Amino acid sequence: MADPQAAGAPWRRFALGPRSVAEARRFVRTALDGVASDVVETAQLLAGELVTNAVLHARTEVEVSARVDGGGTVRVGVSDRRPDRALVPYAYPPYAGTGQGLALVGHLASRYGVDADEDTKTVWFELGPDDATPDDAMPDDAMPDATPDGTRDGALRPSVGWGIPAPAPSDTPSGATVTLVDVPGALYSASQQHRHTLLREVFLALAAGEDLGVPPGELAAAQDMNHLISTCVTAALQQESSGAEIRSLPLSVPPDAGPAVQALRTVLHLAEEKARDERFLTLPALPRSRVFHQWLFDQIVGQLAGGTPTAWTVVPREPGASPSELVPWDAGQVHASRVPTVAADERNTIIAANGPAADLLGWHADDLVGLPLTTLIPEHLRKRHLAAFTSLLLSGQPRILGRSVPLPALHRDGRLVPVRLFIQTQEMPDGRTVFVAQLTPRAAAPVTPTRPSGRTRSVAPQQPDGPTPSAAPHTGGAGAGMPALQRLSLLADTGAALSNAPNLDEGVEQVGRVLTERLADWCAVDLFTGEAAQLDRVCVVGRAPGEACPEEYEGRLPPVSETARGPLARALRGAGPLLLAEPPPPSQAASALDAHYRQLLRSMGTHSAVVAPLPARREIIGALTVARGGAERPFTEDDLPLIDDLARTLGLGVDNARLYQETRNIAERLQRSLLPVLPEIDHLQISARYAASSTTAQVGGDWYDSFVLPSGDTALVIGDVTGHNLDAAIAMSQLRSMLRGIAVDRREPPETVLRRLDMANHSLYREATATCIYGLVKGPENGPWELVHSSAGHLPPLLITEDGRTRYLEDGAGVLLGLDPDLPRPRARDAIPARSTVLLYTDGLIERRDESLEHAMDRLRRHAAGLAREPLDVFCDELLIGLGADSDDDIAILAVRPAPPE
């Protein structure tokens, strides 16, 4: 089994096992005694990589030969007994943790190649005496076909096999065809690297004698299947001419591959468990990679059994594995987004931030880049953040990925900014993970996290049961030529797309998708921002796969000046719809806005377009552009009535969405302005939080209050008016004011104050109902303390002692406010031990659909018990993070903790 190219050279046989790698390196150093040290070191490195590949993939004993010819050229060969396992194209990015060995040979060797006969395969390389790293080595993505004598002038790649010759770039193994629909390139690359790394660790652990519960035969089948999948996908990707990030790939796999895929699934599952237990150096996979592998294996097994393809883009996913993660990392998306957005890498370092985020937190965007993410996290939450971030990397188990979480961010001046945080993950081309955080101010209407707007999207109809087809041209049917039913359907779908979206940006993008699927090649929506003559391009949607819009045409546009006379400026003044048979001539581009619009039309290859004003309430709020290019039928005068109707529908929808959003913002600002400043008391710590719903209109009736009575007692109040609208917010403000006035003026027991409040409420709102707790914390500075309270239909307070014991204070419960003010109300007295916590809360903190109240209250007890010794601010924030994420109701919490002087 000696290297046939190295007849007479020293050689040595090595057993199957990891130890052979080090032994082979020592053998090469001994065999090349007297050769220049840098050449010997390079030969050792490359020989070690080749032996590693033979041990991992061929799984036979190995022979290594090494010699120096008369001219000083070093030749090393590594032979195994699996000639059927040929070298195949198999790309990895530079930062991959595996798969670089044979690429090193391609970079460092002067010559290299593969020789095979019926019994053996030998991979060999040569190093010149004066050049261990030749200048003419080709890059690792250059892979010409093998020459007749088996040599290659490009990089080598790892070997794979299924008992058949491995496929070349333009060839795949004969067998059944499996179609993977909508494969995300970046996610696949990262998942593939992680698979290989895990399997390598399993092999090394078993070779070291560790019992992982994996039979050797099952591991061998898993490794073979893993490399076959990687090879087939690599070959399919190389044949794909589309530059789109999400592609549909046909794979040719053996028809009996099902059991081997199941073996691979089993081995990876066991390896993930070891990684989560920190028994491996490899970190466990994040959720999106686990879900992707499950989908990948299900597709192969299911289709081999006769099932139909299911697209990755329609597979339901858990939080932390959402469809937004299909977007590959692009810093431009962060900068283009109007939602405050910050991105950090796996080192917890900020790598991108946009203007809205910088403005929200008092920074310049460029100043944030390079700082630790903890710069934006309040000090009392930093330890928790670092622990959770480390836990995510070590365990792969997220707590807040893909969820809307209310918490505070840290402003540069030290104050806290209430936000709702939504974190998604994206993939760099080299497989590393980027964490992209959107910070929605809680004083503004919530923005459902989406892909950043302002960039052209490639939109094509998705077909779950087969490959995504290329876009078909618009051959007619628009305007007057379109049947009346289709016209009505297009108008209805346009209105529905906007009204059903969770926010304005998403709605406008959905409208763009409808128009590009059925009317145009691309479209753009420009809207006035409310500032004088300021215009934003809020959406550019393209129909053709891979189509991209230059960044200079996105976001804020030049102002609509007096000199602007181009078609866009005319439409913004109310003219139109205007038919453009070609981009405007330079003579019509006198202003910056005109020139900008002309360049957009030219860069998108437009041969005809229509620009129409968006009317609303007797004013123009923006403009819609729809365009066609290439071989498409040009727009004509017959198309203008339909596009005018579409523009009017869009304008009305945008205006209604803005009014709705403005109403919500005003109501919440009113609601927040009524939340009180908490009193400062030496022996009592008091903390409160308020978070509006993450899914409904941010208008509700939750409130809290705390104040000191003339008697010295501290009043605690929490309540919830029925409803989620402006009326509820107004009723809440009146109840809060009346309760404080009654309590301070009359100084009566809690049950009497609530009875008087109910009578006053009955005179104002006969049909309004509300829950409320009014309590008094009594006791001298050094204790003892007690809580005297009465409840009007509210959830009971929770007492958490310093040692973590919990008890609901259920006495003192009475009927809701608004039912019958003459009914008697009970009073309760409960002792409050020093350094214990009394928690008052509204139902949004605990209640969930399809869950009993008993289970919800038990979950609150467990969560609060674990926070018993935390500082009170941490206690409140952790409750919101742990229990308030994705709540579809408002949340108010009020916590008090007696703290006697030391």
At 354-368, the pLDDT tens digits run: 888 998 899 988 899
445 vs 59 pLDDT, higher one: 59
Quick one: average pLDDT of 857-883?
91
Question: Among 55, 53, 50, 119, which residue's Cα sits nearest to residue 84?
Answer: 119
Q: Can you name the residues that pair with 580 across neighbouring β-strands?
A: 609
223 vs 808 pLDDT, higher one: 808
Distances (CA, A) of 390 to 239, 349, 398, 663: 40, 13, 10, 41
What pLDDT, on a 0 to 100 scale, did the predictor assign at position 463? Answer: 37
Distances (CA, A) of 81 to 49, 61, 78, 511: 17, 7, 11, 61
Rounded Cα distance between 26 and 39, Å, is 14
Confidence class of residue 513 from pLDDT cuts 50, 70 and 90? confident
Quick one: average pLDDT of 406-426?
86
Distances (CA, A) of 413 to 225, 362, 442: 56, 7, 19
Q: Is the pLDDT of residue 776 over 60?
A: yes
Q: Is the pLDDT of residue 629 over 50?
A: yes
What pLDDT, on a 0 to 100 scale, did the predictor assign at position 132? Answer: 44
* Fold observed for domain 674-898: Phosphatase 2c; domain 1 (3.60.40)
Question: Tens of pLDDT along 273-289?
Answer: 888 877 887 778 777 78
Question: Please, are residues 169 and 143 in contact by the beta-carbon 8 Å criterion?
Answer: yes
Instruction: State whether residue 477 is helix, strand or coil.
Output: coil
Q: Can you name the residues that pair with 252 across neighbouring β-strands?
A: 177
E-assigned strand segments in 795-855: 798-800, 806-808, 813-814, 828-832, 837-841
Q: Is the pLDDT of residue 409 over 50?
A: yes
Q: Residue 163: how many CB atoms within 10 A of its CB?
A: 10
What pLDDT, on a 0 to 100 scale, did the predictor assign at position 92? Answer: 56
Rounded Cα distance between 538 and 849, Å, is 35
Side chain identity at 886, as an amino acid letter?
Answer: D
| Residue ranges per structural domain of the chain | 4-152, 176-316, 324-441, 457-664, 674-898
Q: Is the pLDDT of residue 141 over 90?
A: no
Rounded Cα distance between 800 and 509, Å, is 48
Question: Please, are residues 537 and 554 in contact by the beta-carbon 8 Å criterion?
Answer: yes
Return the exposure string of 861-887: e unless at least 16 CB atoms fall within 10 Å of the residue's CB, then b.
Answer: bebbeebbebebbbbbbbbbbbbbbbb
Return the exposure string of 743-775: e unless at least 16 CB atoms fall within 10 Å of the residue's CB, then b.
Answer: beeeeebbbbbbbbbbebbbeebeebbbbbbbb
Can 324-441 and 674-898 be said to share one CATH topology?
no
What pLDDT, on a 0 to 100 scale, did the predictor assign at position 791? Answer: 94
Residues 458, 248, 315, 422: is their CA dihedral positive or negative? negative
Instruction: State whether residue 437 is helix, strand or coil.
Output: strand
- In whole numbers, what is the pLDDT of the chain averaged over residues? 78
Question: Tens of pLDDT along 307-325?
Answer: 888 887 776 555 555 444 4
Q: Which residue has the tokens 């030290």?
A: 414
36 vs 152 pLDDT, higher one: 36
Residue 209 CB-density burial (10 A; 0-12 exposed, 13-18 middle, 19+ buried): exposed
Q: Is the pLDDT of residue 474 over 60?
A: no
Which ranges in 310-368 belong to alpha helices (H)?
331-336, 355-361, 365-368
Question: Please, are residues 720 and 702 in contact by the beta-carbon 8 Å criterion?
Answer: yes
41-55, 530-544, 782-796, range with the lowest pLDDT: 530-544
Quick one: average pLDDT of 396-406?
74
Confidence class of residue 271 from pLDDT cuts 50, 70 and 90? confident
Question: Please, are residues 237 and 249 in contact by the beta-carbon 8 Å criterion?
Answer: yes
Residue 253 CB-density burial (10 A; 0-12 exposed, 13-18 middle, 19+ buried): buried
Q: Residue 33: how many CB atoms within 10 A of its CB?
A: 8
Pick the CATH number of 4-152 from 3.30.360.10, 3.30.70.2740, 3.30.565.10, 3.40.50.2300: 3.30.565.10
* Fold observed for domain 457-664: Beta-Lactamase (3.30.450)
Distances (CA, A) of 240 to 680, 761, 877: 67, 70, 49
Rounded Cα distance between 187 and 193, Å, is 10
Question: Tens of pLDDT along 637-676?
Answer: 888 989 999 999 898 888 888 887 777 667 666 666 767 8
684 vs 118 pLDDT, higher one: 684
Confidence class of residue 431 from pLDDT cuts 50, 70 and 90? low
* Fold observed for domain 324-441: Beta-Lactamase (3.30.450)
Provide the angle, in degrees to the nearest 10, between the axes of the packed helices 216-239 and 258-276: 100
Quick one: average pLDDT of 399-419?
84
